[in-house]
């Protein structure tokens, strides 16, 4: 860091601390100038985190100043040395036009389309295309309760988990507060069996065969006991459950609605322009 930069950093650091908690509006204070571009004190103030010490404040300010000066110099040097400025200007204009059109389209979509399709449309889509909604992994619904190996009342716990009825769930809740290591309830949502298997001392070569027709799993190792109620299962190759497929279907329907809306809107704009003679065609002889 040269002496002038050091002096500037010291000035910035001192000013930042001196101006802390002041809210009086003043004219913008210039710190430096490069190629006709000015860096102001308030720009530095904005990037300094609150309650930072003087040393760190100076380091942050120095880094910002170096980057700002370097960017200005690179940009000005590039402008003087490029030969395809007209092409770049055209690219910028094209990008600006595309960005404005995109923002306008998004505004129209927000105003004129529902946030999501109704339930009837989602169910109709599911029924129509469910043969294509095929599972690529095994999924289950149920309860997984893990206890210490020496936990009390394991016979009762076995019965509760196997049952899974309302009364059993109440007993599991009470028991888990004192004795369980963990309990996972997923009776109303589908979870990949691989996710559950990671919590079990269970090595399988064929998950599908193991799950087929199975409704209860009890395992143990040297420290823990595992109880798994499989309320329901869907296997690889079977149709994806509606609840799992629903978010995907909503996205597909909404994307189709958006694409159709934009296509029709653009077509209407063009047709209206032709009808209203907004477009002038010149006959070529």
Residue pLDDT, tens place only, 185-204? 999 999 999 999 999 999 99
| Domain assignments of the chain as residue spans, ordered by start | 3-80, 135-234
pLDDT band at 3 (very low <50, low <70, confident <90, very high): very low
Q: Note whether 138 and 192 are within 8 A (CB).
A: yes
| Percent of the chain's residues with pLDDT above 70 | 90
Residue-level pLDDT at 15: 57
Instruction: Give the distance from CA 77 to its chain's centroid.
Output: 39
Alpha helix positions (H), the chain = 3-18, 41-47, 54-81, 85-112, 119-129, 154-163, 166-178, 193-197, 207-211, 242-275
DSSP string of 111-140, one letter each residue: HHS-SS--HHHHHHHHHHHGGG-B-SS-EE
Residue pLDDT, tens place only, 219-259? 999 999 999 999 999 999 999 999 999 999 999 999 999 99
Residue pLDDT, tens place only, 19-32? 544 444 457 899 99
Residue pLDDT, tens place only, 137-193? 999 999 999 999 999 999 999 999 999 999 999 999 999 999 999 999 999 999 999
Query: Nearest 5 degrees, angle CA 86-CA 92-CA 93?
Result: 90
13 is written with which tokens? 């650091």
**Distance in angstroms (rounded) separating the CA atoms of residues 170 and 207:** 31
If one compares 10 and 87, the residue with the highest pLDDT of the two is: 87
- Rounded to two decimals, the pTM is 0.69
Residue pLDDT, tens place only, 114-134? 999 999 999 999 999 999 999
**Distance in angstroms (rounded) separating the CA atoms of residues 147 and 174:** 13
């Amino acid at each position: 860091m040269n002496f002038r930069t050091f002096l500037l950093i010291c000035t910035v650091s001192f000013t930042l601390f001196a101006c802390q908690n002041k809210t009086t509006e003043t004219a913008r204070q210039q710190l430096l100038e490069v190629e006709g571009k000015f860096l102001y004190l308030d720009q530095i103030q904005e990037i300094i985190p609150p309650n930072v010490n003087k040393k760190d404040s100076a380091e942050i300010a120095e880094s910002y100043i170096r980057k700002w000066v370097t960017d200005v110099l690179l940009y000005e040097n590039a402008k003087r040395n490029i030969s395809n400025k007209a092409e770049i200007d055209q690219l910028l204009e094209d990008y600006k036009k595309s960005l404005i059109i995109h923002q306008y389209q998004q505004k129209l979509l927000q105003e004129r389309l529902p946030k999501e399709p109704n339930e009837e449309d989602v169910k109709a889509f599911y029924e129509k295309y469910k043969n294509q909604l095929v599972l690529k992994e095994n999924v289950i619904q149920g309860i997984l309760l893990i206890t210490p190996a020496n936990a009390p009342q394991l016979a009762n716990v076995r019965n509760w988990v196997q049952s899974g009825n309302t009364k059993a769930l109440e007993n599991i809740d009470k028991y888990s507060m004192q004795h369980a290591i963990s309990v996972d309830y997923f009776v109303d949502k589908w979870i990949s069996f691989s996710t559950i298997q990671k919590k079990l001392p269970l090595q399988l070569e064929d998950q599908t065969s193991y799950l087929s027709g199975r409704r209860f799993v009890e395992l143990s190792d040297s420290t823990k006991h595992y109880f798994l109620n499989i309320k329901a299962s869907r296997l690889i190759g079977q149709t994806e459950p509606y609840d799992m497929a629903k978010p995907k279907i909503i996205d597909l329907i909404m994307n189709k609605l958006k694409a159709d809306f934009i296509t029709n809107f653009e077509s209407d704009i063009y047709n209206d322009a032709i009808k209203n003679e907004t477009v002038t065609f010149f006959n070529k002889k």
